[in-house]
Amino acid sequence: MKMKKIIPLSLIFFIATTGCTGPGGFFDDDPSSEEVFVFDLTIDDMWNDIPVNQTSASDVLNLTYELGKSPRVTNLTEIGYSMNGQPLLLVEFGDYDPDVPTVYFVAAQHGNEPASVDSAYLLARHFARAIPEEIDPILENINLAIFVMVNPDGRDAGSRGNANGTDLNRDHMKLLEPEGKIMQKAFQRIHPSVTVDMHEFGGVGSIIFQVAAPQNPTTHPDVLAASYVLETDVIESINEEWGFGSVTNYPPTTSSQDSSIHRNHFAVHGSVSLLFESAVSEEYSERVRLQSWAAIAVIDEVVDDPEYYLDARQSSDSEGQEGNDIVHAYLFECSDPATTETLRILKDHGFNVGYKSGDESVTSIHYETFLPRTSFPNGTALVPMDQIGWRMITELMEYNSAKDQHYSNSPKDRGHDSWRALESVNYVIDNDVCKIE
């Protein structure tokens, strides 16, 4: 990982390498100067500076760049660019000591759910600028990463999707969009123990905040358990401040196990995971306050018990999906434009791929199977359900075209009937399948 320049003597200095307006240094060819960085804020400033209206995407970017002056920011990275070429900024704190968990916030995949961006920025500003008495004890126990604004183009347009109109929170399997690819890259780089996906929702009566834990059944049980502990903690924290019944857990839906959704996808990949969202029925400042409050609750909880969250991540990393008796096999056609990305994802995660033995039509059909592991003979090339899956077999049998509008890769789109998914299939492992010379 590329680290910021290590600055000797003291953390209270920073070197400005651009935009220097001070007097020239001793050396004409050295444009840098040293200034004292003052940690000037407290947590009260975060609550006092909540905006009344949403900040524009360009202002969020400019404000976030300013945080790079703080010596506490380990990395301020343009980790990628949106469809319209706007920088996607990742702010990281802490020294990435592998013995402490990393907590990672992702704000506003949906551009028309803006409060999470303002709260993510305020959180980043707080950690960049607040007094050491408030921040140092936290960063001794966690690393922190904040993806301040995933979808700046959607924020500009007030749209849910990105500039292509794609719902980024249904893109985590296919990774068709630049923002989706960057979220994957950020996750792999950060290797978080805890991941929080920040949204907003319409609001239901007195409920002004929702929290959701991951639901994909292939999530490691320790990750699932820790996610529910964290979810409970956030619910209690919101209830204490806003009153009982102000917060609920996200209602289960048909697609709730979908691993193309952030909280499910990255839980399957080993991180304790939450989604939370404030209600747009509230005033904007209150929405930002709710999001910030919940974010602080998450941080406080992990700081209180860092080993628990670190252990969950490590258990998932070391044990993978062992113990799950459901597997998912996935066939695809080599001519499908999504195939390249699908294969890349699978190979990146160490899975074998192959072709259906004795069936030349493998290159022209596309369907999915969920079967008990025992149905597959040794030597079968299997893609475990954690990569593709979202349903148990009983649900698959009820599959019909009215469901799952999220899946353009699903059999219904290819004219295949769901019963085909129940056929037993033999595969030949061939990791070069579909390789284009």
Residue 172 touching Zn ion (CB under 5 A): no
Measured from the Cβ of residue 245, the count of other Cβ atoms closer than 10 Å reads 11
Q: Where are the beta strands (DSSP E) in 304-353?
A: 326-330
What minimum distance in Å lies between the beta carbon of 275 and Zn ion? 8
Q: Does 269 bind Zn ion (CB under 5 A)?
A: no
Q: Please, which residue, 107 or 138, has the CB nearer to Zn ion?
A: 107
Contact 236, 294 (CB under 8 A): no
Q: Applying CB under 5 A, which of residues 64, 90, 110, 362 lies at the interface with Zn ion?
A: 110
**CB neighbours (10 Å) of residue 131?**
13
Name residues whose C-beta falls within 8 Å of residue 238's C-beta, 6 or more positions apart in sequence: 209, 211, 246, 247, 290, 293, 294, 297
Nearest distance from C-beta of residue 359 to Zn ion, angstroms:
41
Q: Among residues 199 and 269, whose Cβ is nearest to Zn ion? A: 199
Q: How far is the CB of 16 from Zn ion (least distance, A)?
A: 37
To Zn ion, the closest distance from the beta carbon of 9 in angstroms equals: 45
Least separation in angstroms between residue 199's CB and Zn ion is 3
The residue of the chain with the least Cβ separation from Zn ion equals 199
H helices within 21-129, ranges in order?
Answer: 43-48, 57-66, 115-129
Q: CB of 171: closest distance to Zn ion in angstroms?
A: 13
Nearest alpha carbon to residue 215 among 171, 254, 166: 254
Residue 125 lies near Zn ion (rule: CB under 5 A): no
The answer to whether 160 touches 111, Cβ cutoff 8 Å, is: yes
Size of the site for Zn ion (CB under 5 A): 3
Q: Interaction with Zn ion in 178-237: which residues (CB under 5 A)?
A: 199
Does 170 contact Zn ion by CB under 5 A?
Answer: no
Q: CA-CA distances (angstroms) from residue 289 to 51, 125, 236, 433?
A: 10, 15, 16, 50
State the Cα–Cα distance between residues 254 and 269, nearest whole angstrom: 21
The residues that bridge with 272 in the sheet, in sequence order, are 194
Binding to Zn ion by residue 287, rule CB under 5 A?
no
Segment contacting Zn ion (CB under 5 A): 19-27, 31-39, 106-114, 258-266?
A: 106-114
What residues make contact with Zn ion under the rule CB under 5 A? 110, 113, 199
